[in-house]
Amino acid sequence: MKKLTKIISVSLAALTVASTMAIASVAVSAASLKKPTNVKAANGEKTITVSWKKVKGAKKYKVYKGKKLIRTTAKTSIKDTSVYSGKKYTYKVKAVNGKKTSKASKSVTITRINYTIIKTVKNGDGSVTLTWAKRKGANQYKVYRKTSGSYTLLKKVTKDSYTDKNVVSGTKYKYMVVCYNTTTKTKSMNCTARSITYLDKVTGVYARENTDGKSIGVKWNAVSGASSYTVYRRKAAEDSYTKLATTTSTAYKDTKLSNNPTAYMYNIVAVKNSSNSVDCQLAPVAPFLPKRDGVNSYYFDDKNNIHVIVMLNKGDTYAEGKALSDFFGLNGLYTAEVVEGKDVITLTDSVITAANSGKAVIEIKLSDSVADIVNAIGGGKIHKQYERALTKTAYVEVEVA
């Protein structure tokens, strides 16, 4: 019996020592909880994500925004949805094990910035220009570009646009913009990238009436990387261009022309997939004097005066005479007057309006000085149909059906 009692006493003593050691171990573990490190805050989509490194012995973590406890979690990150664009927030984290709590981590400050949206990406003359939406909280924007592989930082700007001048025709570029706050050194999410193939503008555009008197031939130089070209045209008296055709060639024959003398302007745009070059800009004017049933719509009389025949329907207007005179720089160098058929047409600022059926004649007197005219047009080459008559009188014969 004494032996048994002794054994039990020894066992209880051993158990007591073991329990004491276990309790001491837990107390030491809890007391030595280290504060969280590597605390980071990042902008997400409508959220701020706070993350940190796992702490040994921690069961949970308390996350504070400013001085307010906003979350207790067993994970090593949270998403804070109670955030507003342009606002600044400070976070810190504490590790927890039972009733024991570590010291607070170093605080991290972030500015809430929504990611931007690239609004436009357009080809220019030797450049690509992109624009994007400004965002609250951002005082800087970082513009990135890639052709393949990873993005490269192009520029840090404070405005909402950037022009990339280091471009090569036929090359596809992908652009991305990141919003940034230089004070808190925080950034937004990456925006959705936009792509474009840069194409040089079309040069060498040449447009002249063909010898058949029924068409205009248009030619231009090839653009590196272009797969096709879009041909646009407008009358010189009009404000906007109309699309005529798309071609893979560098030449186009325009046969859809007016029956009356008309000045046409052409614009050629290079195309690759959905990317277009900038307008050719120096769109040439092509005076067109059509043949009607094999007869020209103009003739010269025995005094070397030119007569241009215009055929209109009642109510029609004809402004191409003014457009041609503007092209040749003759503003102020000529006068126009209805000398026959004043009840048939009206003439206002060189624009003819057909009022009634019949025939009318407009007399146009040009300057007596060839030098005046040459100076006015900058010494440019004058269309052959007109150079004979520049110092003479011209007549517009209008027939109204």
- pLDDT (average), residues 23-33: 52
Q: Higher model confidence: residue 281 or residue 60? A: 60
Query: Is it the case that residue 74 has pLDDT exceeding 60?
Result: yes
Query: Is it the case that residue 312 has pLDDT exceeding 70?
Result: yes
What confidence tier does 308 reach under pLDDT thresholds 50, 70, 90? confident
Closest C-alpha among 49, 54, 119, 147 to residue 89: 49
**What's the confidence (pLDDT) of residue 350?**
79
pTM of the predicted model as reported, rounded to 2 decimal places:
0.77
**What's the confidence (pLDDT) of residue 332?**
57
Mean pLDDT value across the chain: 86
Q: Which helix (H) or strand (E) holds 15?
A: helix 2-31
What length is written for the chain? Answer: 401
Q: What does the DSSP assignment read for 348-376? A: ETTEEEE-SSEEEEEEEEE-S-HHHHHHH
Q: Which helix (H) or strand (E) holds 29?
A: helix 2-31
Query: Is it the case that residue 146 has pLDDT exceeding 90?
Result: yes
Query: Is it the case that residue 375 has pLDDT exceeding 80?
Result: no
The answer to whether residues 175 and 161 touch, using CB atoms and an 8 Å cutoff, is no
Torsion of CA 369, 373, 374, 377, to 10 degrees: 170
**What's the confidence (pLDDT) of residue 380?**
42
DSSP 171: -
Q: Higher model confidence: residue 92 or residue 371? A: 92
- pLDDT (average), residues 19-23: 42
CA distance 264 to 143: 42
DSSP 296: E
Query: Is it the case that residue 21 has pLDDT exceeding 70?
Result: no
**What's the confidence (pLDDT) of residue 366?**
67
Q: Which residues contact residue 293 at a Cβ distance below 8 angstroms, ignoring those fewer than 6 apart? A: none
- pLDDT (average), residues 269-293: 88
DSSP 33: P
The residues that bridge with 78 in the sheet, in sequence order, are 50
**What's the confidence (pLDDT) of residue 10?**
39
CA distance 257 to 111: 62
The answer to whether residues 237 and 322 touch, using CB atoms and an 8 Å cutoff, is yes
Name the 3-class secondary structure at 387: helix
**What's the confidence (pLDDT) of residue 393?**
75
Q: Higher model confidence: residue 287 or residue 16? A: 287
What confidence tier does 45 reach under pLDDT thresholds 50, 70, 90? very high
The residues that bridge with 362 in the sheet, in sequence order, are 338, 396
> Which range is least confidently modeled, 8-17, 152-161, 179-188?
8-17
CA distance 365 to 390: 9
What confidence tier does 36 reach under pLDDT thresholds 50, 70, 90? very high
Burial (CB < 10 A; 0-12, 13-18, 19+), residue 63, is: buried
CA distance 176 to 195: 9
Strand stretches in 158-227, DSSP E: 161-164, 172-181, 186-187, 194-197, 206-209, 216-219
Query: Is it the case that residue 137 has pLDDT exceeding 50?
Result: yes
Closest C-alpha among 295, 306, 317 to residue 400: 317
Closest C-alpha among 220, 175, 213 to residue 195: 175
What confidence tier does 357 reach under pLDDT thresholds 50, 70, 90? very high
**What's the confidence (pLDDT) of residue 85?**
97
The answer to whether residues 308 and 314 touch, using CB atoms and an 8 Å cutoff, is no
What confidence tier does 306 reach under pLDDT thresholds 50, 70, 90? confident
What confidence tier does 38 reach under pLDDT thresholds 50, 70, 90? very high
Maximal CA-CA distance, the chain: 156
**What's the confidence (pLDDT) of residue 99?**
93
- The token pair at 287 is 């005076």
The answer to whether residues 132 and 64 touch, using CB atoms and an 8 Å cutoff, is no
Convert the pLDDT of each residue in 223-252 to its tens digit.
999 999 999 999 888 889 999 999 999 999
**What's the confidence (pLDDT) of residue 331?**
58
CA 371 to chain centre: 45
- The token pair at 148 is 């393949």
CA distance 257 to 243: 14
Q: Which domains does the chain have, with CATH numbers?
A: 40-111 (2.60.40.10), 118-197 (2.60.40.10), 206-288 (2.60.40.10), 297-400 (2.60.40.1080)
Convert the pLDDT of each residue in 249-278 to its tens digit.
999 999 999 988 888 999 999 999 999 999
**What's the confidence (pLDDT) of residue 230?**
98
What confidence tier does 330 reach under pLDDT thresholds 50, 70, 90? low
Name the 3-class secondary structure at 321: helix
